[in-house]
């Protein structure tokens, strides 16, 4: 009998009462690992009530004390790193080293949040008029919520919750129902770190829970990361209900390879960026644009060999380079795209559809796939596949390659590989994407910069983490103050101006 997960509300585990459940799988074996309670709107309401109750005290807590909670939270994540990484490998299927790296990237946002007393400092202008000082404060918003995807079960929740909580908000996290284990554990660790119960509540669920959060008038801000159709829905619904909203969405990241690039370096980069985490990364490279026929031919030949040799196996085996996909449903979807690419006339150079690691025949495994001669009209080029499928498009010039990237509906990350500084600089300045790598295949900005895409890859004005995170989870109050009160200005009927 699979275990039954619980919500984490008010500092303790709370069993689901809706009677609705989803199944969480072990993608390596294909077995059901746990039943995940799907919160009803009434259960969501109760979680929000708890967070709303915790807000005034937490908001009034000194930022230094909140920073100390963050320091302890950071230490607890470090102490529990192995457990968190193992949860990710078991529930998502990332190989352990990659799972650990993803927790580390989330941890870095907690480290950034440890500096919250400094980050929250306002502005002060002394004596802007006779006896008048002008200053601004950053104050928390209230209850914020985070709705997160399956592919980074620790990192993406940490992007949001660390900054939101450090800023003095309380937070209701609704992780992906496919692998909520890490989020539930982070809820416990936050309490162990000294945050009062209710500062971080975690509820598991599906659309019903999300819609209840988006429409609850006590929720002040919504931070979402997931697919583009859901991001659009979240953005429109939350905004219509008067909330601040940031919604990070899908991607189709291109790597442009210029003829002077070091092809061995490119092949190494493409193996990690295309097939790492089985391509289930919003910053994965899923399109390689080879500029010039000879670049394309060399790349095809060297890449095909490496993709065929990719070591696919259980994520806890240190020899595995790529684990299974998250669910059977997702595996079928990805394989369906490979079938579609063949029908559309793309050249399937490496076909990993039938790969099954020995002893794990029921797991959600497939091998790496490589398409060549993909054209911009094909659906395998236009749509996000989110699996270990790399599409090669051939371009005749730098301008044609740049134009391809710019015309694509998504604009999350992009990379250019070249030895030519002029070309790299020109590319960096003109390209229509939010995050650019120069000879760096996965340019995920560090926690003290911001993360966010352009076009259909993000909705809303604020990026994740960095100073955008602090701005998103606070609002500015500007105070104009006159001391001493003894200065008599007399009654004035015009707009106040400097005297």
Q: Is 387 one of the binding residues for ligand NAD (CB under 6 A)?
A: no
CB of 461 to ligand NAD, least distance (A): 15
CB of 226 to ligand NAD, least distance (A): 3
Q: Is 206 one of the binding residues for ligand NAD (CB under 6 A)?
A: yes
Q: Which part of the chain contacts ligand NAD (CB under 6 A), choosing from 63-71, 170-178, 438-446, 475-483?
A: 170-178
Of positions 207, 356, 419, 430, contacts ligand NAD by CB under 6 A: 207
Q: Is 320 one of the binding residues for ligand NAD (CB under 6 A)?
A: no
Of positions 151, 201, 447, 474, contacts ligand NAD by CB under 6 A: 151
Residues in the chain: 499
Q: Is 352 one of the binding residues for ligand NAD (CB under 6 A)?
A: no
Choice among 114, 282, 369, 391 that is catalytic: 282
> What gap in Å lies between CA 253 and CA 281, rounded to an integer?
10
Nearer to ligand NAD, 99 or 225 (CB): 225
Q: Is 251 one of the binding residues for ligand NAD (CB under 6 A)?
A: yes
Nearer to ligand NAD, 207 or 477 (CB): 207
Of positions 48, 54, 193, 225, contacts ligand NAD by CB under 6 A: 225
For residue 124, report the phi and psi dihedrals to the nearest 5 degrees.
-145, 130
Q: Is 434 one of the binding residues for ligand NAD (CB under 6 A)?
A: no
Q: Is 16 one of the binding residues for ligand NAD (CB under 6 A)?
A: no
For residue 449, report the phi and psi dihedrals to the nearest 5 degrees.
-110, 180
Q: Which part of the chain contacts ligand NAD (CB under 6 A), choosing from 61-69, 128-136, 138-146, 169-177?
A: 169-177
Terminal CA-CA length for the chain: 78
Handedness of CA 272, 274, 277, 283 (dihedral sign): positive
> What gap in Å lies between CA 202 and CA 186, rounded to an integer?
9
Q: Which part of the chain contacts ligand NAD (CB under 6 A), choosing from 35-43, 219-227, 263-271, 288-296?
A: 219-227
Of positions 88, 147, 366, 433, contacts ligand NAD by CB under 6 A: 147
Q: Is 282 one of the binding residues for ligand NAD (CB under 6 A)?
A: yes
DSSP states of 450-481:
-B--EETTEESS--BSHHHHHHHTEEEEEEEE
Evaluate the omega torsion of the peptide bond into residue 206 and state whether it is cis, within 30 degrees of 0. Answer: no
Helix (H, G, I), strand (E, B) or coil at 249: coil
Q: Is 5 one of the binding residues for ligand NAD (CB under 6 A)?
A: no
Residue ranges in 288-375 assigned as alpha helix (H): 293-308, 328-344
The reply to whether 6 belongs to the active site is no
- Give the x-and-dash track for 400-419 against ligand NAD (CB under 6 A): ------------x-------
The Cα-based distances of 461 to 241, 471, 475 in angstroms read 17, 11, 14
Is residue 203 within 8 A of residue 175, CB to CB? The reply is: no
Of positions 250, 276, 292, 323, contacts ligand NAD by CB under 6 A: 250
Is residue 161 within 8 A of residue 45, CB to CB? The reply is: no
Paired sense of beta strands 244-248 and 219-225, if any: parallel
Of positions 190, 248, 385, 414, contacts ligand NAD by CB under 6 A: 248
Q: Which part of the chain contacts ligand NAD (CB under 6 A), choosing from 28-36, 144-152, 389-397, 476-484?
A: 144-152
Q: Is 177 one of the binding residues for ligand NAD (CB under 6 A)?
A: yes
DSSP states of 259-313:
TTS-HHHHHHHHHHHHHGGGG--TT-EEEEEEESHHHHHHHHHHHHHHHHT--B-
CB of 77 to ligand NAD, least distance (A): 19
Q: Is 183 one of the binding residues for ligand NAD (CB under 6 A)?
A: no
- Give the x-and-dash track for 452-471 against ligand NAD (CB under 6 A): -x---x--------------
CB of 366 to ligand NAD, least distance (A): 17
Q: Is 80 one of the binding residues for ligand NAD (CB under 6 A)?
A: no
CB of 463 to ligand NAD, least distance (A): 9
CB of 449 to ligand NAD, least distance (A): 14
Handedness of CA 368, 371, 377, 381 (dihedral sign): positive
Paired sense of beta strands 435-438 and 474-482, if any: unpaired
> What gap in Å lies between CA 139 and CA 389, rounded to an integer?
45
> What gap in Å lies between CA 172 and CA 203, rounded to an integer?
7
Residue 410: closest CA among 244, 228, 245, 241 = 228
The Cα-based distances of 145 to 22, 167, 181, 208 in angstroms read 21, 14, 18, 15
Neighbours of 411 (CB within 10 A): 23
Nearest residue (beta carbon) to ligand NAD:
226
Q: Is 150 one of the binding residues for ligand NAD (CB under 6 A)?
A: yes
Please give the positions annotated as active site: 282
Sites of contact with ligand NAD (CB under 6 A) = 147-152, 156, 174, 176-177, 206-207, 210, 225-227, 230, 233, 248-251, 282, 384, 386, 412, 453, 457
């Amino acid at each position: 009998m699979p275990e039954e997960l619980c919500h984490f509300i008010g500092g303790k585990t709370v069993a689901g009462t809706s009677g609705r459940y989803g199944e969480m799988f072990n993608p390596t074996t294909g077995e059901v690992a746990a039943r995940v309670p799907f919160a009803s709107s009434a259960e969501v309401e109760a979680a929000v009530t708890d967070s709303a109750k915790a807000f005034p005290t937490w908001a009034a807590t000194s930022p230094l004390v909140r920073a100390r909670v963050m320091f302890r939270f950071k230490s607890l994540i470090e102490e529990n790193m192995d457990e968190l990484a193992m949860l990710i490998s078991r529930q998502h299927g990332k190989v352990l080293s990659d799972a650990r790296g993803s927790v580390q990237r989330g941890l870095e946002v907690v480290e950034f949040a440890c500096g919250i007393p400094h980050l929250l400092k306002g502005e002060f202008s002394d004596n802007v008029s006779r006896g008048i000082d002008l200053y601004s404060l950053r104050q928390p918003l209230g209850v914020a919520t985070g709705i997160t995807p399956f592919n980074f079960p620790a990192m993406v929740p940490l992007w949001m919750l660390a900054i939101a909580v450090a800023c003095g908000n309380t937070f209701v996290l609704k992780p992906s129902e496919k692998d909520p284990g890490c989020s539930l554990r982070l809820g416990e660790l936050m309490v162990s770190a000294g945050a009062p119960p209710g500062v971080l509540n975690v509820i598991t669920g599906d659309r019903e829970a999300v819609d209840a959060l988006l429409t609850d008038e006590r929720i002040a801000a919504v931070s979402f990361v997931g697919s583009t159709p859901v991001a659009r829905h979240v953005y429109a619904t939350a905004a219509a209900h008067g909330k601040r909203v940031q919604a990070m969405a899908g991607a189709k990241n291109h790597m442009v390879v210029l003829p002077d690039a070091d092809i061995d370096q490119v092949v190494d980069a493409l193996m990690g960026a295309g097939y790492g985490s089985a391509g289930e990364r919003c910053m994965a490279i899923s399109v390689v644009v080879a500029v010039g026929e000879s670049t394309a031919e060399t790349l095809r030949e060297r890449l095909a060999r490496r993709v065929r040799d990719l070591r696919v196996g259980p994520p806890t085996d240190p020899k595995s380079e790529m684990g299974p996909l998250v669910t059977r449903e997702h595996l079928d979807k990805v394989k369906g795209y490979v079938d579609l690419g063949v029908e559309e006339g793309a050249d399937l150079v490496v076909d990993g559809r039938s790969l099954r690691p020995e002893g794990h025949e029921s797991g959600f495994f497939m091998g790496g796939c490589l398409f060549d001669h993909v054209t911009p009209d094909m659906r395998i080029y236009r749509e996000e596949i989110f699996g270990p499928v790399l599409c090669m498009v051939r371009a005749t010039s730098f301008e044609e390659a740049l134009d391809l990237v710019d015309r694509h509906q998504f604009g999350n990350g992009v990379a250019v590989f070249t030895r030519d500084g002029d070309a790299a600089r020109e590319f960096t300045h003109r390209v229509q994407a939010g995050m650019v790598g120069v000879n760096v295949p996965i340019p995920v900005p560090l926690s003290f910069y911001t993360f966010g895409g352009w076009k259909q890859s993000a909705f809303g004005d604020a990026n994740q983490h960095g100073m955008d995170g602090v701005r998103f989870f606070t609002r500015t109050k500007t105070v104009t103050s006159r001391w001493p009160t003894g200065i008599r200005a007399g009654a004035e009927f015009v707009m106040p101006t400097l005297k």
